[in-house]
Structure 1
Amino acid sequence: MRDKGVVERTFASINSLFCQYVAGYTGSDVTRRGVDPAAEAVWTLPQLQDLLDEWIVAGWQPRPHEGLHNPYLPGRTLSPNESYAIAVARTGYLPIALSGTDYTELLPAVWRAVNDYGIKIDYRTYDCPELNPLRRQPSGVKTRQDLWEVHHDPYDVSRVWVRRSDTRQWIEAPWTHMPMVRAPFADFTWRHARQLLADQGKDSTSETAIARVLAGLLRRSGAPPTGSAHVMARTRAGVEALTRLALPPSPAPQDDAEPEDDETEMPVIPFGVFNPAEEEGQPLW
């Protein structure tokens, strides 16, 4: 019953400190709402979630709570942040491993439109069937011109992750030319392939042409050297290994140096025997 009361008080605090200030608030009865709350409701559910998250961080956590006290700070009411800081200072903290979703959240983000062909990033096209409900649709994020949030790994640009604004879930979209390359690659490898095309006077914006050059680069980098190149590589490796293992010559002995006598015995001084039954030199019995 005590836990139920705590939960009810928490919801009551959220209602009085946050909900009643949000446009479209209906209240618990007709005496606690505006004239036309339905006309004032301008927030989507994801936007309300963002507002609540921001209020928890900026309003609830720094606010002193009457139920938070510390025996070492009598008469002082603590906030959740202060109470947590005291607990960490006294007992430490337990590190928690990040999940796959956490790593996706930490990746760099760009904002793109989801077109009929998919998503375009640096002349690369990403697409999958899960993107069908988002094609040519606004994301609802007005500050980003209704574009969609796309996260990518600079060291593996063979796929991207698109966040759905309605469910806050991630959609993994692969690169459409990935069957041609068949190996993950980094962003700088992609840019190097484009530069090779530009140096040859070819179109460095053609996705198919870049994919062909990229496939050749990855195939050559993964194949071991053969023929004379293989023999020369083994020869260089052997010479380098012998060079690293070569030891410096031993110094020549000097005639006037006295030989070291390793068999010289040093006198042994034994320790005294400690008697725990004696105190200040007097026996206890």
Structure 2
Amino acid sequence: MTATPLRFQQGDTLSIRDDQGQVALWSVIDRKRRGYLLQPHGGGDARTWSDDEIDVVYGARRLTHHPCNAEGLPKAIAEALEKTWEFWPQEVRREAERRETYVRMVDAVRDEHPTLMGAYAAAAETVFDAHHDQWQREDNELAVRLDAERRRSTNSASRRSKVLNRPNPYTVRAWYGVWSRHGRDIRLLIPHYHRRGARQARYAREDGDRPDTYKLMRQAVEAWYLGMPRRRKNYAYRRYVDLCREQGVPAVSDRTFRVFIRDNYTERQEYERRFGRRAAWLKFGIFERRSLPERPLEEVEVDHCLIDLVVVHTESGRPLGRPWLTALIDRATRMIVGAHLSFEAPSYASLQRALGHAIWKKDLSGVDGIDHDWPCHGVPEWLICDNGKEFRSQSLQTSGRMLDIGIVNLPVKMPWLKGAVERVFQTIGVQVFSHEEGTTLSRTLDLYDPVSRARLSLEEVRQRILKWIVDDYHHNVHDTLKCTPYERWRELTALYPVRPVPDFDHIVRLTGETFFRRISNIGIQYEGLLYADREKLEPLLARRGGLEKDWEIRYDPYDLGEIWLLDDDCGEWLMIPCVDQSVSRGVSKYQHKIHRALAKRSLPKSAPVTIADLEASRTLAEQTAGELQARKSKVGNTVRAARYESDGAYFTPIEGQKAPSNPTATKPLAEAGPSQEQAPASPPPVVDLDADIAALVAQWSEPKQ
């Protein structure tokens, strides 16, 4: 294919880069047949480049055209051509455009005059008479605008625009000469205003350690402006003046002092020294935007949020305070895959309920007022969380290993790294809570008291959040996805099926809380409770090292009636019931903590807490919690009472679980699904250890036959 010839002028410079990246400069000597005669800069033989050769390097982006002779250019002209046209200020570009009008007029009238000087004079007179009024008006408008900007930034005095005068013909000749000899580029007509002014320092600079005004200025800036604690520039300037007076050195003006800071420190350096490296990084850093994951449940964000709504007790109507919402959201589909709402403070207990709700199938068939299903379930690949205690706990790490979930703890103070769940919390606050009585989003607290105006109970709030998630949020077009989260979930799960839970019936063992204990001769003790099963524990103690080993144990934070012990030799979990079911079955970890505290308060110091004491304190705690809800009391006390009454209910019913009487409440995890190791409905028989020991001693005392 024949190349289309390119047009170059004699004296132009071509910068050609070879395959190895080396750049060579060539001067255009003359146009030859189907090519150009080029002379290399720095000496060498000229050679002819064909149009095809030039077209190849031009198409490969290895040719740069300079419409001037780059060899031996004056410094001022080379500096003007190095910078783009947009680099120069507006008033400088306007002056260059006017100069171009004069030099182009010279080309237009030069044939009408016997000498070039006559053409220069005619061009100066013609252009000035034609454009004087318009240019003067433009200068006045520009002066007014620039003056307003200067006064806003520096409080300087106003300045008037200069009066336009007709240029001298010799001035037009100078413009035309530079413009015509070096490629007729408009940048050659840029006025060199930036080169005006003194180039020497006003005050002498001293060598060595002898002080001068510039050394003292830098010292004052470093010590009293950029140092800690933060101070203002006028304070640093006053200290600088005092320092100059002590050293007998002349001091510069306040304006020069500020110009020194501006010219010697970038804005980021100044901000970093005054506010810290992290603050400067957040303010001036450029952050890369990540693309969405390809697979559903590939990356799941989780976090807690104190909702912006005060709820009341179901029966008494007393304000209880603001509950906590824990949510998990899938990054790929923006579906909310699981949630938990209760007065339980952010802990592993609330995280465990939300995680269990996320990986189980939801059953909304018995919930009234819901028009769509909630199809999200499955085990996530990565769990994105912050550095809360529950997210760094051994329990979550163990659950991650058992379920093959990668736990990612994000850097501190960077909530935008899990912006999807943060945005969901904000959207719920605006679209759900801001319209309800008792919202805390109102800023006029003197006119609106959310505590006294609260009307909704915890179950009603759960219903509203559930309705918003399932019917509104999942079925509205998401700005990032350009479709609804529900549609994206169906689309991606058809391509990438979700990972199921290995064992649905024993989900507590996969997400329960972890602790390590040794097995004693009476069983396993935890928080004053005894767990024993002779048939299961004796074989473990009989193993070598069984007495000194710390066994891994898991339990449901909302039901201390049983624990699960890992038999690492067989790879099985053994269910060990609590000996005292009356103070453990259906009792949460928080409730048991309250029971022990009440029992210790009524006993002498260092006295052991008995089962009878725990039973009495449990009765007292239940009675006290009911009284706090019924009578007028502080909100803080009612919140603690509501947390005490929390039964670990799931956010929605779980498929395969027996439906409770309240469709929005569920049973504890330990009662979900049939299991061969499920705890019996009635309390297990109490092991009479004293009788066993007496029988064993009697057996040893029998005479040998």
Alignment TM-score, normalising by the size of structure 1: 0.40
Q: TM-score, normalised by structure 2?
A: 0.17
